[in-house]
Amino acid sequence: MDVLVHPVAHLRGSIRVPPDKSITQRAVLLAACAHQTTQLAPWSSAQDCQRACELIRTLGVQIEQQGEVLVIQGRGADGLTPPTAPLWCGESATTLRLASGLLAGQPFAATLSGGPSLSRRPMRRITEPLTRMGARIQGAHGDASDPEELYPPLRIHGRRPLQALTYTLPVASAQVKSAILLAGLFAEGPTTVIESVPTRDHTERLLERFGVPVLRRGSAVTVNGGTPLKSPGRLAIPGDLSSAAFFLTAAACRPGSRLEAAEIGLNPTRMRLLDVLQRMGARLTRHLVEEVWEPRGSVQVEGGVLRATRVTPEEVPALIDELPLLMVAACCAQGVTVLQGIGELRKKETDRLHSMMEGLSRLGASITLSGAEELHIAGSRLTGARVESHGDHRTAMALAVAGLLAEGTTRIAGAECVAKSYPDFFDVLARLAGSGVIEHLP
């Protein structure tokens, strides 16, 4: 499916985005291993979350949707059953990586497989620590340039108990941290993950919500093996800030816009994009409504003139999903924005550094790569053109924002990939932007 995006004078209104898919995936996996029943209401029904649901069903867990409520009949730490077929993760790296940690502590073998894009994503960053904990993991090997790298499908021969581990992450990654912490639930003694740069802490917060004490000391996070997961009963998943970010950024870049995103997660480890936009001069206001286990509230933005900024490598882990959007904002800012240490973008669903540079260049952006990981973007006028999603949901949505801000019509090829995280994205965008701004083509 292709989508035509026409320029917009401004965006106004209020939105409620779908529940956070990262939190939903984690909650589904933990609920499967908890005692008693867990209800998620609301929950994200995005494709990635559906993969997590299908995975735990294959492991013998009863899960059903009752209206807007997802009901998961937990089977406890010993209740998962050996799968009779490979566990399909689609294109969800979060599902595959977190499930790897869970399966490492099971007394049976299982295979995790994925689609074409996921099968090209490197997995040694999780297989190495899980192997050190005692799991035996086989996978597809890399090419001659890196023969030690492993790729899906992964065959995981679990072990219980696992060996406790203290592990320093060589690359900041919430998914790797989470996989190790989940495996640590099935280890003898304390398992500790040490981060050089803080990453999102949804897993830690959820573990505590499921009755597992989490010790935070400086940059180290520790869980003790053998602690049973206890269902919290009902969990309300907050709105996905990463989804709201597309609309908030578009509004910030277009003078005259006024937009509110309500009922969204305001976890401090997820708000770096808002921090950077404010540094660029965006007029943003945050209202914290509820703290409890995951902070939530609303964000208001008024459009204005942005100025260039510099993003350091230390900021990138907390910005990794929003970097494509920040690249669009940089095109609308006065001066030259510098993004440093962004090489991790090459290891997403697609090479996002390539897909965004290609797309923005076709729209007329002044964008250059210095070395392998530093991008320079000069504020410039964008002009509508045909661009490719490359099958990547965040690339498609970021280029849609760029299309709103460009002169003329932008055609996004392969736009159906937004269903991975936000199936209704273009419908919401059309409502905010006004009649005729968004057109769907067969």
Domains detected in the chain: 2-19+238-441 (3.65.10.10), 21-235 (3.65.10.10)
Residue 116 CB contacts under 8 Å (≥ 6 apart), including other chains:
none
Residue 405 CB contacts under 8 Å (≥ 6 apart), including other chains:
7, 8, 250, 253, 254, 328, 331, 332, 382
Distance CA 142, CA 102 (A): 24
Tens place of pLDDT per residue across the chain (442 aa): 999 999 999 999 999 999 999 999 999 999 999 999 999 999 999 999 999 999 999 999 999 998 889 999 999 989 999 999 999 999 999 999 999 999 999 999 999 999 999 999 999 999 999 999 999 999 998 776 778 899 999 999 999 999 999 999 999 999 999 999 999 999 999 999 999 989 999 999 999 999 999 999 999 999 999 999 999 999 999 999 999 999 999 999 999 999 999 999 999 999 999 999 999 999 999 999 988 899 999 999 999 999 999 999 999 999 999 999 999 999 999 999 999 999 989 988 889 999 999 999 999 999 999 988 999 999 999 999 999 999 999 999 999 999 999 999 999 999 999 998 899 999 999 999 888 899 998 7
CA 307 to chain centre: 27
* SS3 state of residue 42: coil
Q: What is the pLDDT of residue 111?
A: 98
The answer to whether 313 and 341 are in contact (CB under 8 A) is yes
Q: What is the pLDDT of residue 144?
A: 64
* Cα–Cα nearest to 240, from 26, 439, 422, 14: 422
- Tokens 């108990």 belong to 161
Q: Which amino acid is at 378?
A: A
Peptide bond into 423 cis (omega under 30): no
Distance CA 97, CA 92 (A): 9
**What's the chain's Rg over C-alpha atoms?**
21
Which of 321, 392, 424, 427 is catalytic? The answer is 321
Q: Is 2 a catalytic residue?
A: no
Q: What is the pLDDT of residue 349?
A: 80
